[in-house]
Amino acid sequence: MHIADLGDIKLHYREDGDPDGAPIVFANSLGTDLRLWDKIVPRLPEGLRIIRFDKRGHGLSDCPPGPYSMGTLVRDTERLLDHLQVKDCVFVGLSIGGMIAQGLAVKRLDLVRALVLSNTAAKIGQPQMWQDRIEAVKQDGIEALADATMERWFARPFRETAEMTGWRNMMTRQPEEGYMGCCAAIAGTDFYTPTSGLRLPTLGIAGSDDGSTPPDLVRETVDLIPGSKFHLIRRAGHIPCVEQPEEYADTLIGFLKEVGHV
Ligand SMILES: O=C(O)CCC(=O)CC(=O)O
């Protein structure tokens, strides 16, 4: 197990692949940990340095009291990459992970040479929606949100599989403080203007059945960055890397080739 001690926070991360390879970094969504990428990592070509991590309040990373800000989540990520001496990575961020990706590229372009904005947006939902979600967790616990969340995360056929239970358990076992802390960070984020200023190779990925960040919302965000590409994965909800891993990995590999990372 790898823990990066960043001073005021300790973050759990994992490295696979070639330690001297071209770096690719994965950032997870709300209510998930780094196992989100378990089906993608083995499908990636050899010769990459593959890094994934648990953001604060999730997985095996520290869970300080919330609320968190997006600036803090971006700073955590920046410091983790500095700690690991990563530069010029392809950064793949899903949902809140994609918000972190945008913030990181705006702040530290030396760390990021290309972006994959998966199932994410410059702004997700309205602040009141996030406040309501925080109140619901405070009152009834995270379990009370789980069924509705699975409907946003997965298309119907996947929701009928036994595997879905594992992802549901992953969500309900995240620390409530960390989950609420990240809800607050999303509530306070509108990257529309800063993301419009980004100039780097960008791929958007959306799921046809995504109930959290629908395809049009993802497309609207990646369209802010000139020259960006967009790929829609059918029969997939909010986390297509789990539901359609083959297509997700193929799409990612195609992009890595295009930007000369493999
Ligand atoms: O998944 C995220 O990181 C935030 C977007 C969201 O609403 C997730 C969910 O559907 O619970």
Q: Output the pLDDT for position 185.
A: 98
Counting atoms of ligand 1 from 1, which one is nearest the CA of 125? 7
Give, using CA atoms, the residue closest to atom 11 of ligand 1. Answer: 149
ipTM of the complex: 0.95
Q: What is the mean pLDDT of each run of 10 residues along the chain (262 residues)?
A: 97 98 98 98 98 98 98 98 98 98 98 98 98 98 98 97 98 98 98 98 98 98 98 98 98 98 96
Q: How far apart are the first and last CA of the chain?
A: 27
Task: Please identify which residue in the block is written with the tokens 């997939």.
Answer: 236
Give, using CA atoms, the residue closest to atom 7 of ligand 1. Answer: 212
As given in the structure block, the two tokens for residue 21 are 């390879």
Half-sphere exposure of 228 (CA within 13 A, CB side): 26
- Between the CA of 23 and the centroid of ligand 1 the distance, in Å, is 26
Q: Residues enclosing ligand 1, CB less than 6 A?
A: 29-31, 95-96, 124, 149, 152, 186, 212, 238
**Quick one: CA dihedral 232, 37, 196, 184, positive or negative?**
positive
Counting atoms of ligand 1 from 1, which one is nearest the CA of 239? 1
Angle 146-153/163-172 helices, nearest 10 degrees?
120
d(CA 230, CA 254): 12
Tell which one of 26, 28, 29, 133 to mutate to probe ligand 1, the residue whose CB is within 8 A of the most ligand atoms: 29
Tell if the pTM clears 0.90, that is, is over it: yes
Q: Output the pLDDT for position 85.
A: 98
d(CA 206, CA 204): 7
- Between the CA of 147 and the centroid of ligand 1 the distance, in Å, is 13
90 touches 114 (CB < 8 A): yes
User: Among candidates 20, 82, 28, 17, which has minimal Cα distance to 56?
Assistant: 28
The conformation of residue 23, written as its DSSP 8-state character, comes to: E
The four Cα atoms 87, 2, 19, 115 give a dihedral, to 10 degrees, of -40
